[in-house]
Amino acid sequence: MSKKTSNQMWGGRFAAGPDAIMEAINASIGFDQRMAAQDIAGSRAHAAMLAATSIVSDSDAEAMREGLLTVLSEIEAGNFEFSTALEDIHMNVEARLKELIGEPAGRLHTGRSRNDQVATDFKLWVRDQLDAVDGALQALMKALLTQAESGADWVMPGFTHLQTAQPVTWGHHMMAYVEMFGRDLSRVRDARARMNECPLGAAALAGTSFPIDREMTARELGFDRPSANSLDAVSDRDFALEFLSAASICAMHLSRMAEELVIWSSAQFRFVSLSDRFSTGSSIMPQKKNPDAAELIRAKIGRIFGANVALMTVMKGLPLAYSKDMQEDKEQVFDAADNLMLALAAMEGMVRDMSANRPSLEAAAGSGFSTATDLADWLVRVADMPFREAHHVTGTLVAMAEEAVVDLPDLSLEQMQSVHSAITDDIFGVLGVHNSVASRTSYGGTAPEQVRAQIARWKEVLA
């Protein structure tokens, strides 16, 4: 494409062509071509509205709409030649449309600007991405529900500070992630609802004197309503920031789970076995089975967090309305979206394929004096002991067991009574890990009946 053509796109004010460096820094076609489908959808809706309001003739609008479909088919087939000289996806599409249909193509931009056009395209793209993340989150949550259901009553250690705390169930641990990703799903849907206002028709910043029908274009593009302020419509990128914020929190949750899978699949834990599909070997150590997919998910959060910070930094000092700085909004969002979707898919695959090692989980559940709290609770309930005193008595018994290199249930009744005479042999009924988890029947607790109730609730939500 010649410099002259590019200048024609800019208008008659510019006599000289752009310097090569200016052309390179100004062009966005290298990345915003990803919005081709959204750009063409917006232009087809705009053309239909221009005809409905008699701003252009029906024949011109039909030529534009059909020509745009031809352009889309060329792009989808890989036959479209993108030009850096034409700067962006909007100008590339419009230039090709003119080659296809001639003079009517020049009427397509009536009543709009690239400012409201790009805001609309970007919103449509982010909205599509939110829908994709919604589906990926639901798939991951269903995989977690399957794991939870299969091990609703399997005991395992619960941790605080990565130290054994109290026994929980495998199902309860899986359901903790269902809750976390459920909040991510809620954020995605909330962001989608808030961003679903159409900027098209805000024009450059002040609206337009043409009698356009913004309700029509909003409806055609699946928006709930047109945006109410033209200045805000073209300068707003909150929808992209909300997407990145929700993506960052979701990526953090994925990273936390990935960390647990790395730990659990180690030879020291052996809580889970990851499938060969999501593991790799070592070039030198034949015994190794590395949880590389989990490790890469754990690392993806850096890119997604970085995108969030980058766009916040771009937007923080911009006066109203549009500034060219805002061209730097898309690459970060595209990269974050790609990496979030990849991480979600990989985590879903790992969760579906992984096998929990029930014997290892159960053996670890009873280690580290995990039922000490049950002992203290028994002293409060049965011996009518203040909790602080019960805590002290239990701590003394833990020290005794630790010195004898045994666990709490292995202490004799006589040893226990030497610490406090109120202890009876009933205490042994609460020191087993299965009894411990079964007793945690408060709402949201780890008792199998509570876990199964939460599984049923989430199955209904996701149905």
Q: Is 366 in contact with 168 (CB distance < 8 Å)? A: no
Strand partners of residue 156: 168
Q: Is 344 in contact with 254 (CB distance < 8 Å)? A: yes
Q: Is 96 in contact with 80 (CB distance < 8 Å)? A: yes
- Establish how many alpha carbons lie within 13 A of residue 430's alpha carbon, considering only the half-sphere containing its beta carbon: 20
From 66, 59, 64, 68, select the one nearest 47 (Cα to Cα): 64
Strand partners of residue 198: 226
Identity of the amino acid at 379: L
Catalytic residue among 2, 57, 282, 412: 282
Q: Is 374 in contact with 439 (CB distance < 8 Å)? A: yes
Active site includes 391? Answer: no
Q: Left, alpha or beta for 348 (phi > 0: left; psi -120 to 50: alpha)?
A: alpha
Helix (H, G, I), strand (E, B) or coil at 263: helix
Contacts of 253 (CB under 8 A, 6+ apart): 177, 180, 181, 184
Helix (H, G, I), strand (E, B) or coil at 405: coil
DSSP 326: G
User: E strands along 21-87, which residues?
Assistant: none
Helix H segments across 151-237?
Answer: 170-195, 214-220, 230-235
- What span, in angstroms and rounded, lies between the C-alpha atoms of 329 and 150? 44
Strand partners of residue 159: 164
Strands 163-169 and 355-356: unpaired
Catalytic residue among 161, 283, 421, 442: 161
Active site includes 248? Answer: no
Tokens in use for 154?
């399997």
- What span, in angstroms and rounded, lies between the C-alpha atoms of 450 and 179? 14
Instruction: Kindly list the distances between the CA atom of residue 84 and the CA atoms of 12, 32, 319, 405, in Å, as whole numbers in the listed order.
Output: 20, 11, 28, 73
Tokens in use for 301?
């959060």
DSSP codes, 44-104: HHHHHHHHHTTSS-HHHHHHHHHHHHHHHHHHHHT-----GGG-SHHHHHHHHHHHHH-GG
Which positions are annotated as active-site residues? 161, 282
